[in-house]
Amino acid sequence: MAHIMKCKVCGESFDRDKITCIHVGNRYAHVECAQKAELKGELIEPPQKDPDLIALEEYVMKLFNQTYVSPGIRKQINQYHDEYKFTYKGILQSLIYFFELRGNPIDKANGHIGIVPYIYKEATTYYYNLYLAKIVNNQKNINDYKPKIKHIEITPPKAETKKIKLFNLDE
Ligand SMILES: [Zn+2]
């Protein structure tokens, strides 16, 4: 799904997921336009980045061993946040839950975070319960609250199929 934005500087419309752009206040602008405007002394409120988004991006980079967040993942994050109304923190918790707590192999993710919608509710519920449990009893070991590991089958991508279903969630 395209995310059409209007550049705050030149007024031209563009797809946020495809064009290099930056946040200017609560709007978007082409990077070049923003730079030009900055040179002219117009604009620019420094982009305010959500600390939860920063934490999520740092985790994603660490997870996939990259120095940047790929456009594909950025698109997924935007979609989950804007359309699914997931929080950045919840997305982060979902990834930690899936890869670290449940021990699913990172290389099977193909450099994407498409698993998030399937586990978001479960993961955030898990962290919520963990939070409650910590309040109730601070003495207990966190590991006592780990869910039983449930194996998720991951089907290998088929070259001939257009739409790859990465995770088999039929169970
Ligand atoms: Zn522009």
Residue 37 CA, ligand 1 centroid: distance in Å: 10
Residue 68 CA, ligand 1 centroid: distance in Å: 23
pLDDT value for 109: 87
pLDDT value for 124: 93
* Locus of tokens 């996939």: 64
Residue 7 CA, ligand 1 centroid: distance in Å: 5
Residue 46 CA, ligand 1 centroid: distance in Å: 17
pLDDT value for 158: 58
Task: Measure the CA angle with vertex 75, ends 71 and 77; round to 5°.
Answer: 115
pLDDT value for 154: 61
- Model-level pTM greater than 0.85? no
Residue 39 CA, ligand 1 centroid: distance in Å: 14
Mean pLDDT per block of 10 residues along the chain (171 residues) reads: 88 90 84 83 68 95 92 95 96 95 89 95 93 74 58 59 54 46
pLDDT value for 79: 96
Residue 75 CA, ligand 1 centroid: distance in Å: 20
Residue 76 CA, ligand 1 centroid: distance in Å: 24
